[in-house]
Amino acid sequence: MPHIAIIGNGIAGITAARFIRKLSASLPEHQISVISSESEFFFSRTALMYVYMGHMRWKDIQPYETGFWEKNRINLIYNTVQEIDFKEKRLKFNQDPPLSYDKLILATGSKSNTFDLPGRHLAGVTGLYSKQDLERIESLSPKIKKAVITGGGLIGIELAEMFHSRNIPVTMLVRETDYWSSVLPPEEAKMISGHIREHHIDLKLETQLKSITDDGQGSVAGIITDRNEEIACEFVGLTIGVRPNIDFLRSGPLECDKGILVNEYLETNIPDVYAIGDCAQIRTPNSGRKNIEAVWYTGRIMGETVAHTLCRRKTMYNPGIWYNSAKFFDIEYQVYGLVPAQIKSPLNSFYWEDPNGKKSVRLIYDDESRIIKGFNLMGIRFRHEVCERWIQLETKLDEVIANIRLAFFDPEFFKDIAPELIQQYNREQGKNIALRSTNSLNAVLQFFKQSKSNT
């Protein structure tokens, strides 16, 4: 009975385990073991903030009942792998006997960046990535009178919202000219910066953390910025990105760079060893994609891909069109396709913003061919499948605008922004395009029927 061992029980590792079991139903039985020391059961990492805020309980962010694993013959091992003997194919633990494997999947995830910041080891300094991070923040919270968060990414805004929900004052240090302006185009970055301040977060732009000061007892007393401003606080949130969690693998024969190097089949340089999820670094990524993408959906695709390779046929990893989503307090965010922070030739964009300053639509297109390249949405939901199909079919911008209602996925009674959007588009582009569609289910189904017949 072949034994497949998976180190890591995040979305990548668990997806691999589930699909290996599903795809191997008609094959010789596989033994599957999933090893993790973070948590006994798989949980939704993106929902950690809602446990702290009281919206969900810990058991609510576990997608599967505890009996699911035994029923599907997936052996969960709550332990830490200290060393891997790749030659003998054995996983070594601190005290327990070694575990032999036939195939190994490394899905070790990420860890928070700390860099070489003075005071980073003090009590009261942490990121927000793991279950242990959340437990640490919860234990510290009763004594926190003021929190400082450094970093302008998605985890930073989550942490700010968490503390805001408990009326703990927050200062955010962001090195850019606006929040997340290294990712968001200028108008959207300015919108979110304003929205953060409306929630009474002290947002300090073009400011970085210089050092963390000690209270004399090994805990945080405050911070000093690169502008030499001193801020008293009891907590420092380090949300300056994450990096692959592979330190224990670097001294061995496994080829690593920032992450574990893999080919298009997610194979490492060692036979029968694969890497997926946040820890994997693609040697030759697809055009327009990064070699490490620490997002939920790419981890899920990698897990399914490696399962196909192990059970049926060797399958290339294809992440498809870039997609991401998040929430900045009350403003939802979606991005599809190519949306650079600085839009330069040969790209151009059409941008519409609601007068309330809380909703916007940006359409990225090739200036010469007029082909749609990407969508950036604030406070408005578009249908994933429709946006993806328009990009895949290289649809012209005018056609997208005329049928823009097909993409809208907002709840009933939300304001219909399509007339304002198309009016502005016609005015700016010198067009006379009329809306041709609704967002009814029948219209959407007809769109897919027609688009498939065209391919």
Do residues 30 and 307 lie in contact, with contact meaning Cβ atoms separated by under 8 Å?
no
Give 46-90 pLDDT, tens digit per residue: 999 999 999 999 999 999 999 999 999 999 999 999 999 999 999
* 305 shares a domain with 211: no
Work out whether strand 147-150 and strand 235-238 pair parallel, antiparallel, or are unpaired: parallel
- Pick from 178, 207, 240: which residue ends a domain? 240
* 443 shares a domain with 379: yes
* CATH code for the domain in which residue 208 is found: 3.50.50.60
Calculate the dihedral angle through the C-alpha atoms of 17, 334, 179, 170, rounding to the nearest 10 degrees.
-60
Predicted confidence at residue 453, as pLDDT, reads 64
Do residues 147 and 153 lie in contact, with contact meaning Cβ atoms separated by under 8 Å?
no
Predicted confidence at residue 452, as pLDDT, reads 67
In angstroms, the CA 15 to CA 299 distance is 8
Indicate if the pLDDT at residue 189 is higher than 90: yes
* 236 shares a domain with 304: no
* Structural tokens at position 284: 């030759």
Q: Is the pLDDT higher at 438 or at 128?
A: 128
Summary count for the chain: helices (H), strands (E) = 11, 25
Residue 427 structural domain = 323-453
Indicate if the pLDDT at residue 152 is higher than 90: no
> Residue 446 in 3-state DSSP?
helix
Domain count, the chain: 3
Indicate if the pLDDT at residue 109 is higher than 90: yes
* 447 shares a domain with 335: yes
- Pick from 240, 261, 279: which residue ends a domain? 240
Query: Mean pLDDT score of the chain, rounded to an integer?
Result: 94
* 157 shares a domain with 89: no
Indicate if the pLDDT at residue 143 is higher than 90: yes
* 285 shares a domain with 235: no
Give 266-282 pLDDT, tens digit per residue: 999 999 999 999 999 99
* 166 shares a domain with 267: no
Indicate if the pLDDT at residue 288 is higher than 90: no
Q: Is the pLDDT higher at 364 or at 24?
A: 364
Residues constituting the chain: 455
* 218 shares a domain with 290: no
Predicted confidence at residue 395, as pLDDT, reads 96
Do residues 251 and 80 lie in contact, with contact meaning Cβ atoms separated by under 8 Å?
no
Q: Is the pLDDT higher at 10 or at 453?
A: 10
Predicted confidence at residue 404, as pLDDT, reads 94
Domain presence at residue 354: yes
* CATH code for the domain in which residue 332 is found: 3.30.390.30
What does pTM read for this prediction?
0.93
Amino acid at 337: G
In angstroms, the CA 329 to CA 109 distance is 26
Domain presence at residue 343: yes
Which residue from 107, 55, 105, 136 is spatially nearest to 310, judged by alpha carbons? 105
Give 211-267 pLDDT, tens digit per residue: 999 999 999 999 999 999 999 999 999 999 899 999 999 999 999 999 999 999 999
* 143 shares a domain with 90: no
| Percentage of the residues of the chain whose pLDDT score is greater than 90 | 88
Indicate if the pLDDT at residue 336 is higher than 70: yes
Q: Is the pLDDT higher at 416 or at 142?
A: 142
Give 359-389 pLDDT, tens digit per residue: 999 999 999 999 999 999 999 999 999 999 9
